[in-house]
Amino acid sequence: MAAFPQHVDEFQREVVSRLETLSALAGSGGLDAAIDLLSTCISTGGVVQAFGTGHSEGFAMEIAGRAGGLIPTNKVALRDAALVGNHAIAELTGEPPLERDPNIARDVFATVVRDPRDVFVIASNSGVNGSVVGLALLAQEHGHPVIAVTSLAHTHAVQPQHPSGKRLAEIADVVIDNLAPFGDATLDSVGDVTVGAVSSLTSGYIAQLLTIGTVATLTARGEEAPLYVSANVPGGHDRNLTFEARYGDRLRRSA
């Protein structure tokens, strides 16, 4: 255990330095293009459709359906193809992983109750898997702006897996670098394999910055920013249901 505090300090530096860079980016207007798309979406009655596979699903969870977050948001997931689509549950597991299958994108996209005003926010550290690239292409094909959150260091170090030959970063209208290194992990001083992944932490921070920026923009315009209150405070659940009712079946909340 004697060496462990040293590794804690190393990892803290890796994480904090990236969060500081993202804060500086936001402060200098580097997220404004994404925030403008999101605030316009909310202002005009649209819904933010957030998608991520694997650990990037955590990004979508930060965007959609959480306390302090925007109510008109959806978390789109691969499992939707089975839960509300026509695929079997057994298809969600296996080799190769479903996230690499470009054909699943169309079936997942078909489960989304969409409106022309909606914006898609798609997170993928590698930005090259078939399902992610496929969903981004479908969103754009149907006229929806796409915001990508991805690791530019990683995505440009690997080959695209979608038949289009494109990466998520080459499709999106706005690209935000999550600053994760190639391979995601940051510490090579602990063992034989690098540890200390950062993409979940930086992407989650980006999600919150986007939410805060969108709320600030709407508020500055004198418009309402429909936000969730924690369901675990008195009256929170009932209040949230009242706001959700405005959007009807366009919002999907699942366990």
- For 13-44, give the DSSP string: HHHHHHHHHHHHHHHTTTTHHHHHHHHHHHHT
What does the DSSP 8-state code read for residue 227? Answer: B
pLDDT of 130 reads 94
Average pLDDT score over the chain: 94
Q: What is the pLDDT of residue 97?
A: 86
User: Whose CA is closest to 39, among 17, 13, 70?
Assistant: 70
pLDDT of residue 202: 98
Does residue 135 or residue 3 have the better pLDDT? 135
pLDDT tens for 211-237 read: 999 999 999 999 999 999 999 999 999
Query: Given a cut of 70, is residue 160 above it in pLDDT?
Result: yes
**Predicted pLDDT of residue 2:** 56
**% of the chain at pLDDT higher than 90:** 84
Long-range contacts of 235-244 (CB under 8 A, 24+ apart): 236/67, 240/71, 243/71, 244/71
- Kindly give the pairing relationship between strand 195-197 and strand 146-150: unpaired
Closest CA to 227 of 74, 73, 70, 72: 70
Q: What is the pLDDT of residue 1?
A: 56
- Is 58 buried (19+), middle (13-18) or exposed (0-12) by CB count in 10 A? middle
- Given a cut of 90, is residue 18 above it in pLDDT? yes
Phi, psi of 147 (to 5 degrees): -110, 125
Longest dimension (CA), the chain: 57
- 120's enclosing H/E stretch is strand 119-123
Mean pLDDT for 165-178 is 97
pLDDT confidence of residue 192:
81
Q: Is pLDDT at 3 greater than 90 in this prediction?
A: no
Q: Report the pLDDT value the prediction gives residue 85, as an integer from 0 to 100.
A: 87
pLDDT band at residue 33 under the 50/70/90 scheme:
very high
pLDDT of residue 5: 81
pLDDT at 7: 87
Residue 255: per-residue pLDDT: 60
Query: Is pLDDT of 84 > 90?
Result: no
- The yes-or-no verdict on residue 90 having pLDDT over 90 is no
pLDDT digits (tens, 9 = 90+) for 120-155: 999 999 999 999 999 999 999 999 999 999 999 999
